[in-house]
Amino acid sequence: MSTPPNSKCTIYMTTVLILSCMKFVLATNFYRDFDILWGNGRGNILNNGKVLMLSLDEYSGSGIQSKRAYLYSRIDVQIKLVSGNSAGTVAAFYAGSEGDNRDEIDIEFLGNVTGEPYTVHTNIYTKGKGDREQQFQLWFDPTTSFHNYTITWNPSMIAILVDGTPIRVFKNMESSGVPYINELPMKVYASLWNGDQWATRGGAIKTNWTEAPFITWLRNYKARGCVWMNGQSACNSRSSKAINHDWYKQRELDLKGNELLKLVKRRHMVYDYCNDFNRFPHGVPQECHLNTPI
């Protein structure tokens, strides 16, 4: 039996409404969710859209950009990093806006000399200003299997997690004069590129191009978030289901999460901008003085 025209219209509008509220991207499909941004063939989507391969050689790296932009989201992806001697390489997974006054939430994996731990370099840009780097050494080998990396961003806080363990939290401190990411929509990016000017031991160890091509793998990408459509966030609507989700409502870590965060900082943090008094001789940034985990 054919569907009446009015019913077709209703079905279509209901589908659009569901997508605009965007509570979950159900399954990984890199064909559907991303565009290959650069690399001239060095980025490849495989296995019917389920797997992404990024590669780097002496001529170029590669990168992708999500088709959707969000104003608040929880983003998960599983990554297997460059194995062997990866010194000089940088694999990045981050959310970012466009323009000079960009906002970004950065996770960058700094390559290592064989046998040394990978360093996770994190940074948070607000209104075009970064300088909020924190670095951690991973407590496992991220090259032998996939591990899950998460960015949670809501009106109250930003959290970065590794296999469910929080390694960094940046709270909304606008009431104390610290800018927060809450105005510009951000897309999701992943890339693999040559950063041997700074990535490994401050640039002392250069990329060994005889080891190329270097390869990073991504799978199981999921985005739960407030899609940016027609100049506004879907979560501006009171009917949006996303605003009832735990990731959106979370104002701070729970007791277990705070204990894990303290443990990671104590055992695995290797750099914190809030302790770099040589870099900030006139005083560290304001948020470093506030009684909140950052």
Task: Identify residue 172 by its one-letter amino acid code.
Answer: N
User: Is 104 labeled as catalytic in the residue annotation?
Assistant: yes
Residue 253 contacts residue 169 (beta carbons within 8 Å): yes
C-alpha distance from residue 289 to each of 161, 166, 176, 255, 285 (Å): 23, 21, 11, 22, 8
Q: Which of 58, 104, 183, 287 is catalytic?
A: 104
The dihedral region occupied by 139, where left means phi > 0, alpha psi between -120 and 50, and beta the remainder, is alpha
Tokens of 90: 């940088």
Q: Which residue has the tokens 């105005």?
A: 183
Task: Identify residue 64 by its one-letter amino acid code.
Answer: I
Rounded Cα gap, residues 26 and 94, in angstroms: 20
User: Is 252 labeled as catalytic in the residue annotation?
Assistant: no
The dihedral region occupied by 259, where left means phi > 0, alpha psi between -120 and 50, and beta the remainder, is alpha
Residues that are catalytic: 104, 108
